[in-house]
Amino acid sequence: MNRTSDSVVSSSHLQDRVKTISITPVITSTPVTTSVAPVTPPVFVGIDIAKDKFDVHVRPFSKTWTLTNDLKGFEQLVVHLKQFPTLQLLVVEASGGYERTLVSQLIEANIPVAVVNPRQARDFAKGLGHRAKTDPIDASDLAQFAELVKPKLTHKTPENQQQLQDLVTRRRQIIHLQTIEKNRQHTTHGVIPNKTIKETLALFDKQLATLEKAIAELFDASDDWTAKTAILTSVPGVGKITAQQLLAEISELGTVKRTQIAALGGLAPYNHDSGKLKGRRCISGGRQSVRTALYMAALTARRFNPVFIAFAKRLKQAGKPYLVIQVACMRKLLVTLNAMLKSRTDWNHTLVQESS
């Protein structure tokens, strides 16, 4: 009897315990996996170009190629570069014209390219501690230069501007050769040698006439250049040849600040101070052809332009050396011409005083 009641009580107790236990169902599910596309890093390219070939370096993949400096090589380069959709910038040094066709092809292919000053690129490499210099090393340094410095993009030069630059450059070269031959006349003896010099000078005269005609035709076809020439030549001391050379060699004239135009012309004095040392101010860099054109123009202005006569006189009274005065006049002339083109104003004394 007791055993039966105990078993009944025990069974009842177990049933109560079962009722109080809550069972949480466990739901198992297959884990969801999301595929993340690999992130491609930004790509920077450096090219070291020579007469017959150019070396290419791609960062950060360290891919390199050596291609021929011709149309076939350019096409191969574009095909290679299309493999990198994250290409940010390609940098190439200015190499005396060897880079011109390549840069034109890259711009046509919508590839961002920047042409940089070789000295700036070399100084950058030295700053990295790279003393060795080979074509592949230079290409690698230029790629790193593109990544860290990110120089300003180079845009396509208008066709007529490029033609003018080529014509003016060739005219300057022939004038230089003509001067050499004229100087040889004074030290050359003998009938035949002197005859060859005269024939060479006659050929130079003929070629200069051809170039002058081509330059004149370009200016006649451009109302903008014609108007700018009229403004520039209104300054006493600036002739047609100087105006043409400035418009060809420094197309930024009239579009930038006075400090920028002076730097482009290589006429901006740079400080050289350290501690108590106050070094001499010197000019450096810039475009030599612009300085050459301005030298003769400033020399003429110092003789016939009242403003520049007074300016040079004031500097001379201050004890400045002759060449310092000459460079100061060249800079003043360039800054003045820049201000005149910017405001589309002919020569006047007030504008000169404001821009000085």
Residue 14 pLDDT: 43
Burial of residue 37 (CB within 10 Å: 0-12, 13-18, 19+) is exposed
pLDDT at position 312, please? 94
Which of 309, 320, 328, 311 is closest to 267 using CA atoms?
Answer: 328
What pLDDT is attached to residue 5? 47
Q: pTM of the prediction?
A: 0.77
Q: Hey, is 87 helix, strand or coil?
A: strand
CATH class of 43-149: alpha beta
**Can you give the length of the chain in residues?**
356
CA gap 109, 162 in Å, rounded: 19
Q: Which two tokens stand for residue 102?
A: 């390549």
Residue with tokens 């003896």: 189
Q: Interhelix angle for 159-185 vs 240-249, to 10°?
A: 130
Which tens digits make up the pLDDT trace of 127-137?
989 888 899 99
- How far is the C-alpha of 237 from the C-alpha of 243, rounded, in Å? 11
Separation of alpha carbons 102 and 329, rounded Å: 39
In tens, the pLDDT along 165-217 reads 999 999 999 999 999 999 998 888 888 999 999 999 999 999 999 999 999 99
Residue 3 pLDDT grade (very low, low, confident, very high; cuts 50, 70, 90): very low
10 Å Cβ neighbour count for 49? 25
Please choose, from the candidates 261, 271, 313, 315, the residue with its C-alpha nearest in 3D space to the C-alpha of residue 291: 261
**What local confidence, expressed as pLDDT, does residue 32 receive?**
55
What pLDDT, on the 0 to 100 scale, is given for residue 9?
Answer: 43
CA distance 161 to 221: 12
In this predicted structure, what is the pLDDT of residue 40? 80
Which amino acid is located at 229 in the chain? T
Decide: helix, strand or coil at residue 47.
strand
Could you give the dihedral angle defined by the CA atoms of residues 206, 212, 214 and 216, in that order, rounded to the nearest 10 degrees? -150
Q: Which residues contact 199 (CB under 8 A, 6 or more apart)?
A: none
Residue 75, pLDDT above cutoff 70 = yes
pLDDT tens digit sequence for 280-302: 677 767 788 899 999 999 999 99
Gap between the Cα atoms of 232 and 334, Å rounded:
10
pLDDT digits (tens, 9 = 90+) for 297-350: 999 999 999 999 999 999 999 999 999 999 999 999 999 999 999 999 999 866
* Structure token pair of residue 214: 């081509």
pLDDT digits (tens, 9 = 90+) for 211-247: 999 999 999 999 999 999 999 999 999 999 999 999 9
pLDDT digits (tens, 9 = 90+) for 262-276: 988 888 776 666 676
| In the chain, where the domains are located | 43-149, 158-221, 248-272+281-356
